[in-house]
Structure 1
């Protein structure tokens, strides 16, 4: 197996859709979880394709330092804010978690980045402004850890990539980002402690 490549071979669009449904059902019942499941039921396979309609699922990854005191963010070119890495599901992605890991690797330049867990740690449906070709993303978030000394790079989708203290985030973050980051950090830290 080639490092960084999936051991799965995509058979059709249903595999990642079924995988996402199963992962969502493992989360505690909540308004957001139930809204995601309704969206998947209504949109079906198109929910995972960028060209499947104006709203679709994306995968993202919060990258923390091993002590969880820092977070690596990118300054999103279209959005003009600091945010976690992420993007659309591509045909080669066997799951949304795999898409999130791939996007984090591509956008951070850390080719060895691996998710701490395939468990969903964040759900964030957000409307998009006119700079985007779609109207809303149903983002599914995961987490990874990397040493802040690891070399990073800036992708075409970002203007900058930089480490920040989790208690010293930049001003230009999306509304509610700090609370989401704190929740993901607590979940990721407890998962890491159980290893």
Structure 2
């Protein structure tokens, strides 16, 4: 597989971190072509949220905040890595809150996928595969405006369970485990399309 464009994720915790990340989120979602009607509606809602400014990237924004997640594919494109989430006990793609040191949404998703999988050498397609808005318990009740990406593991990748998960598991995309978080299944089709774009030999 050819390597998709990599995201520069050198640490950056300066005061304008949220501003930089917010600008990237606006640019990415404004230019993006949604992969489904649900994703189109969620994108419009997220762009409305982003009109609040950089605070919309932070979990402190109770009205809702942007998060980033990743559907991780193995090197063959025949398995995806999911985690059994430690808080709501469902299988879900890897991901979570943005941080002020993140420069891009894709970078935030790649950081989260690396932290939660324990896999080094992950690569990411910087074009989203989905956007989803769903309620969460943050700050006593909020919304996650989750921007999802396809991430690719290197050959021989070995996962390691993090404190965020009860378990990690590789599953065929056509046979995802239960109980499964809402919205995770719809990542498979656009995720496989991203895998094929990144691969010199399309997956059958």
Pick the TM interval, shorter chain: 0.7 to 0.9
Matched, 1:66 2:75: yes
The answer to whether the 8 Å contact 1:78/1:131 transfers is: no
* Cα distance between partner residues in 2 of 1:133 and 1:85: 23
Give 2:10's aligned residue.
6
**Contact 2:46–2:66 (Cα < 8 Å) also in 1:** no
- Alignment map for 1:106-121 (pairs within 5 Å): 106-115=115-124, 117-121=125-129
Q: Which moved more, 1:99-108 or 1:144-153?
A: 144-153
Matched, 1:24 2:14: no
Could you tell me the TM-score, scaled by structure 2's length?
A: 0.82
Cα–Cα, structure 1 residues 81 and 8, in superposed 2: closer, same or farther, change >3 Å?
same
In structure 2, the CA distance between the partners of 1:135 and 1:9, relative to structure 1 (3 Å rule), is: closer
Alpha-carbon distance in 2 for matches of 1:147, 1:112: 6
Q: Does 1:57 align with 2:66?
A: yes
1:190 CA drift (Å) = 2.7
Distance in structure 2 (CA, Å) of the matches to 1:17 and 1:176: 24
2:20 to 1, 15, 18: 15
Equivalent of 2:99 in 79, 90, 102:
90
Higher RCO (Cα < 8 Å, 6 or more apart): 2
Normalised by the length of structure 1, the TM-score is: 0.86
- Number of residue pairs the alignment of both structures matches: 189
| Structure 1 residues 38-53: aligned runs within 5 Å | 38-41=48-51, 43-53=52-62
Distance apart, 1:6 and its partner CA: 2.2
RMSD: 2.5
SS in 2 for 1:144: strand
Evaluate the alpha carbon distance shift between residue 58 and residue 44 of structure 1 in structure 2; reply closer, same or farther with a 3 A threshold: same
Shift of 1:147: 4.3
Partner of 2:3: none
Contact residue 113 and residue 145 of structure 1 kept, 8 A: yes
Describe the shift of the 1:193–1:32 C-alpha distance in structure 2 as closer, same or farther (beyond 3 A): farther
1:79 maps to 88
Q: Which consecutive residues of structure 1, in runs of 5 or more, have no partner in the other structure?
A: none
Pair 1:180-2:202 in alignment: no
Moved more, 171-180 or 11-20: 171-180
Aligned residue among 126, 135, 140 for 1:127: 135
Aligned-partner Cα distance in 2 for 1:26–1:76: 32
